[in-house]
Amino acid sequence: MDIGKDKLLEMYRSMQRIRQFESRVRDLAMANEIPGFVHVSIGEEASATGICAALRPTDRITSTHRGHGHLIAKGGDLKRMMAEIYGKRDGYCKGKGGSMHIVDYSLGILGANGIVGAGLPIATGSGLAAVIAGRDDVTACFFGDGASNEGTFHESLNLAAVWNLPVIFVCENNGFGEFTPMQTVTSVKDIAVRAQGYNIPGHIVDGNDVLEVYQYASEAVARARSGTGPTLLECKTYRWEGHVVGEQAFLGDEAYRTKKEVEEWKRKCPLIKFEKFVLEGRKITQAELDKIVAETNADLDAAIEFARTSPLPEPSEVTDDVYV
């Protein structure tokens, strides 16, 4: 697949923004500056970026509790995201959604979701809505390997297949459902083979290779947009951090994974893999990459300052925008 320089630069900027945003959030949470729980996706930048790079602005996504990367890749505003994580009024949800429930309908972001597997039926409904409205928009549904064992996974794939809905189901398989190794609770080695049960295409993708993700995503999007139906993509990837920031269960003698395993995956870093490809192929210069890194650093500095100075919601606003 021949990818132009502008698209390559766009993808690198997206991965840098995700990596730096998540790294800053991790550090701020460890310093007790951010309230509540945060789940970061350091190491998984390529899957979010590669999928969203194949979408257009009117396409939609649904996300997960580990959703910051998806939102950034779809164009989320770093300042409003950071303010929301801080619980501030200038955040996307006025400080009431927090890390796991950021929404921006104007960008096609139907929401991150703290309930495992909950984004699957939402994405299916979004696909149906597009068909009813006569639009050729596509919905990309991000979920983890753990969610593939939920009933919502099977129900959503079945309906999407029966109705030929324009949905791309994207399983980010990082090997663990919280602390549980996938192979101990899942009947198949590869989630992608479950597509066979619904008579739709299923593909295993190197989730740490943004170009491979983009290629498969582009093919799935074209299929969906043409009215041919959904596709299941399984992006094999890995989270470098714990399930939640501050979780240290992967360290020590009682670890559910070893330091060696983590280090092995760090050597497969999506950003390093991309940099190697573009530099050796002379597609992008080191100076161009460095410029994006510096600009992203400055953007994150501004986002954190924006969040810190944004006001907290007033107690009187507790029931505003809450629907029961």
pTM reported for the whole predicted model: 0.96
Query: 316 Cβ partners below 8 Å, 6+ apart?
Result: none
SS3 content of the chain, % helix, strand, coil (to 5): 50, 10, 40
Burial of 114 (0-12, 13-18, 19+ CB in 10 A): middle
Tell me the two tokens of residue 204: 């295993």
Kindly list the strands in the beta sheet with 202-206, ordered across the sheet, starting from the edge strand earlier in the chain. 60-62, 139-144, 167-173, 231-236, 202-206
Instruction: Name residue 311's amino acid.
Output: P
Question: What is the pLDDT, as a whole number, of residue 255?
Answer: 77
Q: Identify the segments of the chain with pLDDT beneath 70.
A: 248-254, 324
User: For the range 284-292, what are the long-range contacts, defined as Cβ-Cβ under 8 Å and sequence gap of 24 or more?
Assistant: 284/5, 284/8, 284/9, 284/12, 288/9, 289/12, 292/9, 292/12, 292/13, 292/16
pLDDT value of residue 252:
60
CA of 100: how far to CAs of 65, 66, 92, 200, 206, in Å? Answer: 5, 7, 12, 30, 26
Phi-psi group of 104: left, alpha or beta (phi > 0 → left; psi -120 to 50 → alpha; rest → beta): beta
Q: What is the pLDDT of residue 251?
A: 59
Question: What is the C-alpha to C-alpha distance for residues 133 and 60, in angstroms, rounded to an integer?
Answer: 14
Q: In this structure, are residues 121 and 147 in contact, taking their beta carbons and an 8 Å threshold?
A: no
Structure tokens at 307: 């969040």
Q: Which phi and psi (to 5°) does residue 130 adopt?
A: -65, -40
